[in-house]
Amino acid sequence: MSYSAPIQDIGEKHLVVPGTTFRRITEGVSRVTENPAPRGWWILFLTALTFLGVLGGAIGYLFFRGVGVWGNNSPVGWAWDITNFVWWVGIGHAGTLISAVLFLFRQKWRTSINRFAEAMTIFAVICALLFPGIHVGRVWHAYYMFPLPNSMEIWPNFKSPLLWDVFAVGTYFTVSTLFWYVGLIPDLATLRDRSINRVRRLAYGFLSLGWRGSNRHWQNYERAYMILAALSTPLVLSVHSVVSFDFATSVEPGWHTTIFPPYFVAGAVFSGFAMVMTLLLVARQVFKLNDLVTITHIELMNKIILATGSIVGYAYAMEMFIAWYSGNQYERYAFLNRAFGPYAWAYWTMISCNVICPQLFWSKKLRTNIPLSFVVSIFVNIGMWFERFVIIVTSLHRDFIPSSWGYFHPTPVDIATYLGSLGLFFTLFLLFIRWVPMIAMAELKSVLPEADAHHGQAHHDDHAEAPAHAQEAK
Amino acid sequence: MATATEIPFTRAGVEGGVPALMLAEYATPGEVLHAAEKVRDAGFTRWDVHTPFPVHGMDKAMGLQDSRLGWIVAAAALTGFAAAVSLITYANVIAYPFVVGGKPPLSIPAYAPVVFELTVLFSAFGAVFGMLGMNKLPRHHHPVFESDRFRAATDDRFFLSVECADPKYDEQRTRALLAETHAAHIEIVEDNEP
């Protein structure tokens, strides 16, 4: 399979620090799960766990009292809950982009960060799935979303984008998890073979399914991995497109635009890369993985942040242009109100964080600056949250009749639920870092120059197919 | 060229077991690739190569056919497509026809998202479970796991295993063949009788 072509053959140079050996990769990555956790990990974990507790309290209170504990009220029926949903789904998208799209484009530098990004995808989608689930009000009826036979003889409406969302996000979560797990099998086998106690050997042994590195297995495995990448690529584009249909198919000025699907996908990739950057810079520092995740990786990711940030900026400008060009007074008003109305502060926060701030990365010096990359990644995360808030709330808060205009105020429960979802995300992420190899070892080994069967020799091609007389023993 | 007796040789595995396979160990992917070509040309059928990562060119060196996984995925994709079309048609056309937003009950464009998603979902299941099925995994017991040296196969060593059940297998001659391939170590792994 051409994907496994040695890096020399596809014109790549060293992807990790020269001199890195197979053993160094095994050691460097496995020891994070084997050594006692550093103090920093415990501090972060206990903090995250506290916020997870806040989430539990906020949701419990919500279930007890009802959706009225949130600030959502007519005319703003969708507010922080759906903002958070779209934000979290979007963050997930970078993981799939790194693991699937960059795989298909033979961007081998992704091997240092793909495991990490895929884990982020799964945890972000878990946080995302939470919000529509708790927003339905009577959560004990959440199963109405699924096409299940029931005694009322009614079925879900398959023409509704909200139902498409159930299928799109559900499929996305399942396929991302499968993709991640398939990638993990060889690395779990490495942990199994290194384990010094019985519990680890049994746990990792069970999860690695008896993987023995057989080439007859690798052959089907690589094919499965490629097919999953090929499936995930249109899937990831479809998921945020379907999420944008929730808005775009409604007859609501500010939502009813055809640019939404590509604009949402670009924004998703943008915010996801920023989140990968935030997490990676911390993990790289705490676990000393500087020679596996190099400055080149960070620079390449910053280039993607710059590219997608500029696409998002273009989309903002195009929305404004189309609102004017449409000649529709409601459409024009919705956009003028967005930029200069009561939510102008949110709009210009969004523009500053998403459009202006990534432009710093045109300079090579700035995009290879680690503290600056960290700061920009945080700003982008904030900006993308505001983008969803701006789209949702500014389009709703001034209804067609001025008597039903309003202004949205979040309640403490809104804030606690949002912060709590960050707690859920980081709790899962920190557990992942501790118990699962956070860099894809088998894949990273295959991009070392030493992985080339002809490393150190002039390239030769005398490996004939099995000759016809091969059946005769020598 | 090293002869059979110069290369370290050990026996490992279950006490009182019978020989299950011969395991040759190599330090580099290049060595195991060339060894695989020799074993292929010698006409063995029940043998395998174990590497920490997929080695480019090994499929050809082992004389393997192309993976047939794609056919399983294609069948799964068609199943997913048919399941989604049937589900939507049954739910919204037959069991509960209901006009929403002026669209007729049988509205093909509105099928697209859910049909696409379920096709992808079934295909992904086909790819993962098809791969595990073709590889006969999970399989937690295998003679290679009786060798302590084999633990390095998921770290930085490369192994070639020939099953004693192979019709071409002969302890002395197979050992001599593997010795010619720059093996760093040769081991006979014993296991309980199958």
User: Which residue does chain B place closest to A191, by CA atoms?
Assistant: B154
Instruction: Quickly list DSSP for A431-461.
Output: HHHHHS-SS-HHHHHHTSGGGSTTTTS----
A291 pLDDT higher than 80: no
Instruction: Look up the domain containing B125 and give its range.
Output: 70-134
In a domain, A468, yes or no: no
In a domain, A97, yes or no: yes
Collapsed DSSP state (helix, strand, coil) of residue A175: helix
Interface test with B, best of A145, A165, A167 (most B CBs within 10 A): A167
Residue given tokens 């480019």 in the structure block: B56
pLDDT digits (tens, 9 = 90+) for A232-253: 989 999 999 999 999 998 888 8
Span A330-350, average pLDDT: 93
A471 pLDDT higher than 50: no
The domain tally of chain B equals 2
List, in order, residues 6 or more apart from A432 with CB less than 8 Å away. Answer: A119, A123, A438
**C-alpha span between B97 and B106 (Å, rounded):** 8
Interface test with B, best of A215, A218, A444 (most B CBs within 10 A): A215
Give the 3-state secondary structure percentages of chain B, helix then strand then coil, rounded to 5. Answer: 50, 15, 35
Question: A216, B155: Cβ pair inside 8 Å?
Answer: no
Tell me, yes or no, whether B74 and B169 share the same domain.
no
Q: Which pLDDT value is given to residue A467?
A: 46
Q: Which pLDDT value is given to residue A469?
A: 42
Mean pLDDT for all residues in chain A: 87
**C-alpha span between A374 and A276 (Å, rounded):** 10
Give the least confident one: A9-13, A420-424, B22-26. A9-13
CATH code of the domain containing B29: 3.30.70
CA distance A265 to chain B (A): 16
Question: A227, B73: Cβ pair inside 8 Å?
Answer: yes
A307 pLDDT higher than 90: yes
Tell me, yes or no, whether B56 and B75 share the same domain.
no
Percentage of chain A modeled with pLDDT above 90: 51
Q: Which pLDDT value is given to residue A1?
A: 38
User: Which residue does chain B place closest to A232, by CA atoms?
Assistant: B120
In a domain, A470, yes or no: no
Which residues in chain B have their CB less than 8 angstroms from residue A238's CB? 113, 116-117, 120
Collapsed DSSP state (helix, strand, coil) of residue A27: helix
CA distance B189 to chain A (A): 15
Q: DSSP character for A209?
A: T
Interface test with A, best of B115, B137, B169 (most A CBs within 10 A): B137
A2 pLDDT higher than 50: no
Interface test with B, best of A22, A99, A227 (most B CBs within 10 A): A227
In a domain, A343, yes or no: yes
A289 pLDDT higher than 80: no
ipTM score above 0.90: yes
Tell me, yes or no, whether B53 and B81 share the same domain.
no
Q: Please report the beta strands in A205-326, taking only residues with DSSP state E, as ranges in sequence order.
A: none
Q: Which pLDDT value is given to residue B107?
A: 87
Span A268-284, average pLDDT: 88
Q: Which pLDDT value is given to residue B79?
A: 96
pTM of the predicted model, to two decimals? 0.90
The domain tally of chain A equals 1
B106 pLDDT higher than 90: no
Instruction: Look up the domain containing A344 and give its range.
Output: 2-453
Highest mean pLDDT out of A104-113, A147-156, A465-474, B82-91: B82-91
Q: Which pLDDT value is given to residue A9?
A: 60
pLDDT confidence of A5, banded at 50, 70, 90? low
pLDDT confidence of A470, banded at 50, 70, 90? very low
Which of B116, B134, B152 is a domain's end point? Answer: B134
Span B88-115, average pLDDT: 89
Question: B121, A171: Cβ pair inside 8 Å?
Answer: yes
Nearest CB partner across the interface for B64, out of A21, A171, A219? A219
Tell me, yes or no, whether B125 and B86 share the same domain.
yes
Q: Between residues A289 and A222, which one has the greater pLDDT?
A: A222
pLDDT confidence of A23, banded at 50, 70, 90? confident
pLDDT confidence of A468, banded at 50, 70, 90? very low
Tell me, yes or no, whether B108 and B155 share the same domain.
no
Which residues in chain A have their CB less than 8 angstroms from residue B24's CB? none
Span B43-47, average pLDDT: 89
Question: A164, B55: Cβ pair inside 8 Å?
Answer: no
- The H-assigned helical ranges of A287-328 are 295-326
Q: Which pLDDT value is given to residue B2?
A: 56
Span B182-194, average pLDDT: 85
Q: DSSP character for B66?
A: P
Nearest CB partner across the interface for A168, out of B37, B113, B140? B113
Instruction: Quickly list DSSP for A359-422.
Output: GGGGSHHHHT-HHHHHHHHHHHHHHHHHHHHIIIIIHHSB-SSGGGB------HHHHHHHHHHH
Q: Between residues A460 and A339, which one has the greater pLDDT?
A: A339
Nearest CB partner across the interface for B138, out of A193, A209, A466? A209
Give the least confident one: A211-225, A325-339, A341-355, B167-181. B167-181
Q: Which pLDDT value is given to residue A206?
A: 93
In a domain, A226, yes or no: yes
Q: Which pLDDT value is given to residue A473?
A: 36
Q: Between residues A64 and B2, which one has the greater pLDDT?
A: A64
Q: Which pLDDT value is given to residue A8?
A: 58
Question: A219, B111: Cβ pair inside 8 Å?
Answer: no
Burial degree of A286 (CB within 10 A; 0-12, 13-18, 19+): middle
In a domain, A473, yes or no: no
pLDDT digits (tens, 9 = 90+) for A172-228: 999 999 999 999 999 999 999 988 888 998 999 999 999 998 999 999 999 999 999
**CA-CA-CA-CA dihedral for A443, A444, A446, A450, to nearest 10:** -170
Which residues in chain B have their CB less than 8 angstroms from residue A23's CB? 155-156
Span A384-398, average pLDDT: 92
A463 pLDDT higher than 60: no
CATH code of the domain containing A330: 1.20.1630.10
